[in-house]
Chains A and B, each alone.
Chain A
């Protein structure tokens, strides 16, 4: 395959993996959220994420002949996944879950915004559709982060601590791919650096309104490795769970 094709494929796989894993993490809150109404809202976001991942695996299958979405999503070896470490961490408490959702979705929004103008034609329409879903995800995250950042002493401290934990992990979203140059030159995607720049410019003022102190990106070690198949210890057990039923009877054609 020529490098351009490889580059697109790599880009799509990491996007699909990120969404699949964070969607699973969000889904773990279903039935356990802080109040019924919020439970329902986050359950929708979880479905959107997993649904977007499904769409991208379908696109990969159609355009690049990768395995069917279920095999790609649930049955690869751990080191074949390209998700970033941010999405792998267990939910912990609501502070971490919300901050992760906030940091992740602002990056997603810009990523798909950029992809709307891609020379890789098939991603454009998809990106536009995804963006309207992610717009709600951002609205949801922003309201919560603002409210909890300025809520009680306890909520402020929790959110600040969660931000400090999640921030280096979030920088791992932008781990450069070996194909950055190709993506940029071919106008497929403006690159992770450009994305990170836009992301920082967006989240900073919101965090300020929330009275939260964003760590200085230049003084933080980004959590890289995920994009090359090196993962935290949290991914393998989750993948085992995700494939549990499918592996129970590999002969089965339909579940």
Chain B
């Protein structure tokens, strides 16, 4: 009898695996470092973050990203960037994005009253015009 596992899988039989196959536990770094992947599905669209992967270098990161994040959708562009190179806030500081005060001075809704002023102006003009007998409004 052979020492190798007699698998139902011919691939495994060819691999010659023993039941007591030794294994050295992985050390930190065995799976390399991580990259973040950005994907554009059609021209004109934004690149969107779609996930991360493990790679030893940017060239392989892109080779891997193409299949893991591009194989099932149309792709017009793809970027990879080392996770370590992304600069962001500590989570506890994320509340700096909470806008406390009213910021109407930089929103379109802050400028909704022009029509009111124009109408009032027109009304005033008309009243003045009627009183001095000349024609008001358009040329």
Contact = CB atoms under 8 A, between A and B. Distances in A.
Interface of A: 28, 32, 35-38, 40-41, 43-44, 90-91, 136, 139-140, 143-144, 147, 241
B67 A143 contact: no
Interface string B12-31: 00110000000000000001
Contact of A37 (B14, B64, B71): B64
B66 interface: yes
A143 B59 contact: yes
Nearest to A37: B64
Interface stretch (B49-57, B82-90, B94-102, B114-122): B49-57
B38 to A, nearest CB: 16
Interface string B39-57: 0000000000000011111
A36 B67 CA distance: 11
Give the interface size class of chain B. Answer: 10 to 19
Contact of B66 (A35, A91, A136): A136
Interface string B59-70: 110011011100
B68 A147 contact: no
A36 B54 contact: yes
A44 B71 CA distance: 8
A35 B54 contact: yes
Given A37-B54, A147-B57, A44 B67 contact: yes
B10 interface: yes
B11 interface: yes
A37 B15 contact: no
Interface of B: 10-11, 14-15, 31-32, 53-57, 59-60, 63-64, 66-68, 71
A55 B13 CA distance: 31
B15 A32 contact: yes
B57 A41 contact: no
A167 to B, nearest CB: 23
A40 B67 contact: yes
A210 to B, nearest CB: 13
A38 B11 contact: no
A143 B63 contact: yes
A218 B68 CA distance: 41
Contact of A41 (B10, B56, B67): B67
A28 B10 CA distance: 9
A40 B68 contact: yes
A37 B53 contact: yes
Contact of B60 (A40, A147, A241): A147
Given A37-B53, A37-B54, A41-B67, A143 B11 contact: no
B89 to A, nearest CB: 29
Contacts of A90: 14
Given A44-B71, A143-B59, A241-B10, A38 B66 contact: no
Contacts of A144: 60
A35 B31 contact: yes
Given A37-B54, A143-B63, A144-B60, 5 more contacts: A32-B11, A36-B54, A40-B64, A40-B71, A44-B71
B18 to A, nearest CB: 16
Contacts of B63: 41, 139-140, 143
A241 B12 CA distance: 13
A91 B64 CA distance: 21
B7 to A, nearest CB: 12
27 contacts: A32-B11, A35-B32, A35-B54, A36-B54, A37-B53, A37-B54, A38-B64, A40-B64, A40-B71, A41-B63, A41-B64, A41-B68, A43-B67, A44-B67, A44-B71, A90-B14, A91-B14, A136-B66, A139-B63, A140-B63, A143-B59, A143-B60, A143-B63, A147-B56, A147-B57, A147-B60, A241-B10
